[in-house]
């Protein structure tokens, strides 16, 4: 029996992890959860899974008023650190959204435990810090992001990445597949949130609609697999059945396929020698119609920024990530139109917020500075 600490339990990935646990109660016990503020959802989770610990980021009062609760409520960074380091925790799942997940990823990377990582933003913003730290502490990072988990599965049994010629990361193209940026000036929030294949949290759904998600994933892959960006191709695959493809030096290409269902990479990441069963939708191969198309030319500027981040490293990823988070938040709040998301990223990236220091304090500092600059750019559009 493995004890699981699920950080970001009340989100979309949280739902999928809980579903896999519920189907494998003999293998997994939900030991602890964390959330930001969605107490009502956390109550449902505690009722069904009875985790020992509940860490609530935004509500200190729960901690002091917990006398009648069968769960132990926690709050603040010190509690989070204790929970992550708890000897009883075997597997940590980091499914917090956005840069807010960096703190937990940073703490988890130093535990020597198995870390299932959904929070790509912590790798984009802090890859140069997190990966060496995980290596130093023998922390095993297993990606949950479907493309990276697919690559992970395609590399199984090989001698690392030595014989890899190319890795192709697939993108669904999102709800605006085949539309150019100039067609997207007037799209409404609900249209951008209406992803054709995946049901996800709002931030990543907008990232998928802009295709910035794929650019974040390029950086994530460069760090997780320790390969130069030139090894990675981004290609649009509207059906989201093939989640990525690894091509070897001998001409073989190995891919991982499944219905678009996050429980598949999660079940794989949770597995230990044996596969973990879930109730999945089988693919009907005789009716499958798979297609591929080029990454749209008018989004190449943002892909090139991601490639620059991969090449230069240091804090450029923090700048890219923070400018995107402010742009997405501003679109969600109705401050800017959809097409301006790109402009906020481009203009903020050009401001040249630089530091070679890759400590956690410096990353937090660069993140703050970038948010201030990105907000100025947003203001210039209002
Ligand atoms: P959601 O928005 O659905 O959930 C986010 C979770 O993080 C919630 O539990 C939320 O708590 C918690 N959270 C938010 N801010 C904070 C904070 N400041 N401190 C502590 N907890 C916080 O996001 P998703 O589940 O969609 O995505 C999670 C991560 O996984 C993202 O990094 C995303 O890119 C990645 N990912 C998601 C996929 C998906 O299918 N959803 C696919 C691949 C990757 P509360 O509910 O209380 O606000
Ligand atoms: Mg993905």
Is residue 309 pLDDT above 70, yes or no?
Answer: yes
Is residue 93 pLDDT above 80, yes or no?
Answer: yes
Domain end call among 144, 177, 210: 144
Indicate if 77 and 139 belong to the same structural domain: yes
Instruction: For residue 336, give its domain range.
Output: 314-382
Least confident interval from 15-24, 60-69, 306-315: 60-69
pLDDT value at residue 128? 96
Beta strands in the chain (DSSP E): 2-7, 28-35, 53-56, 72-74, 91-94, 114-117, 140-143, 164-171, 232-236, 242-248, 253-257, 293-294
Indicate if 328 and 302 belong to the same structural domain: no
**Domain containing 336 — which CATH number?**
1.10.1740.10
Probe residue for ligand 1, chosen from 96, 104, 124, 145 as the CB with the greatest number of ligand atoms within 8 Å: 96
What is residue 98's DSSP assignment?
S
Distance from the CA of 206 to the center of ligand 2, in angstroms? 13
- Cα separation values, 253 from 112, 143, 295, 360, Å: 33, 21, 20, 38
Probe residue for ligand 1, chosen from 200, 243, 259, 324 as the CB with the greatest number of ligand atoms within 8 Å: 200
- In this prediction, residues 112-137 reach a mean pLDDT of 98
DSSP states along 263-331? HHHHHHHH-BSBPPP---PPP-GGG-----EEPPGGGHHHHHHHHHHHHH-TTHHHHHHHHHHHHHHHH
Domain end call among 144, 162, 190: 144
pLDDT value at residue 67? 67
Distance from the CA of 37 to the center of ligand 2, in angstroms? 25
3-state class (DSSP) for residue 351: coil
Indicate if 44 and 121 belong to the same structural domain: yes
Mean pLDDT of the chain: 95
Q: What does the buried/exposed string (b/e) look like for 240-273 if buried means 16 or more CB atoms within 10 Å of the residue's CB?
A: bbbbbbbbbeeeeebbbebebbbbbbbbbbbeee
Q: pLDDT tens digits, residue range 18-66?
A: 999 999 999 999 999 999 999 999 999 999 999 999 999 997 777 777 7
- In this prediction, residues 77-81 reach a mean pLDDT of 97
Domain end call among 144, 175, 207: 144
Report yes or no on 62 lying in a domain.
yes
3-state class (DSSP) for residue 218: helix
133 exposed, middle or buried (CB, 10 Å; 0-12, 13-18, 19+)?
middle
Least confident interval from 68-72, 124-128, 180-184, 355-359: 68-72
Indicate if 152 and 138 belong to the same structural domain: no
């Amino acid at each position: 029996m493995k004890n699981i600490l699920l950080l970001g339990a009340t989100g979309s990935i949280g739902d999928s992890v809980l579903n896999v646990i519920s189907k494998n109660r003999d293998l997994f016990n939900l030991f602890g959860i964390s959330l930001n503020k969605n107490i009502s959802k956390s109550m449902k989770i505690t009722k069904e899974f009875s985790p020992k610990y509940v860490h609530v980021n935004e509500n200190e009062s729960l901690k002091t008023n917990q006398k009648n609760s069968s769960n132990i409520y926690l709050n603040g960074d010190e509690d989070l650190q204790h929970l992550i380091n708890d000897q009883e925790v075997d597997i940590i799942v980091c499914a917090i959204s956005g840069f807010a997940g960096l703190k937990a990823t940073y703490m988890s990377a130093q535990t020597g435990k198995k870390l299932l990582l959904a929070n790509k933003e912590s790798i984009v913003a802090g890859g140069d810090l997190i990966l060496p730290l995980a290596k130093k502490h023998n922390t095993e990072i297993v990606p949950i992001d479907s493309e990276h988990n697919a690559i992970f599965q395609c590399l199984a049994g090989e001698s690392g990445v030595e014989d890899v010629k190319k890795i192709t990361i697939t993108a669904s193209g999102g709800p605006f597949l085949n539309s150019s940026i100039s067609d997207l000036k007037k799209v409404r929030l609900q249209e951008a949130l209406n992803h054709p294949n995946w049901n996800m949290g709002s931030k990543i759904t907008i990232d998928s609609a802009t295709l910035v998600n794929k650019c974040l994933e390029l950086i994530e892959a460069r760090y997780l697999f320790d390969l130069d960006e030139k090894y990675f191709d981004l290609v649009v695959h509207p059906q989201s059945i093939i989640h990525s493809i690894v091509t070897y030096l001998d001409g073989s290409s190995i891919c991982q396929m499944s219905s678009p269902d996050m429980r598949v990479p999660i079940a794989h990441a949770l597995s230990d020698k044996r596969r973990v069963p879930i109730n999945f939708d089988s693919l009907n191969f005789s009716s499958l119609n798979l297609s591929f198309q080029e990454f749209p030319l008018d989004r190449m500027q943002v892909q090139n920024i991601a490639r620059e981040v991969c090449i230069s490293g240091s804090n450029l990823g923090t700048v890219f990530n923070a400018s995107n988070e402010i742009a997405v938040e501003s679109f969600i709040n109705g401050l800017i139109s959809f097409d301006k998301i790109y402009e906020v990223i481009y203009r903020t990236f050009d401001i040249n917020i630089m530091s070679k220091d890759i400590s956690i304090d410096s990353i937090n500092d660069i993140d703050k500075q970038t948010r201030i600059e990105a907000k100025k750019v947003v203001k210039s559009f209002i």
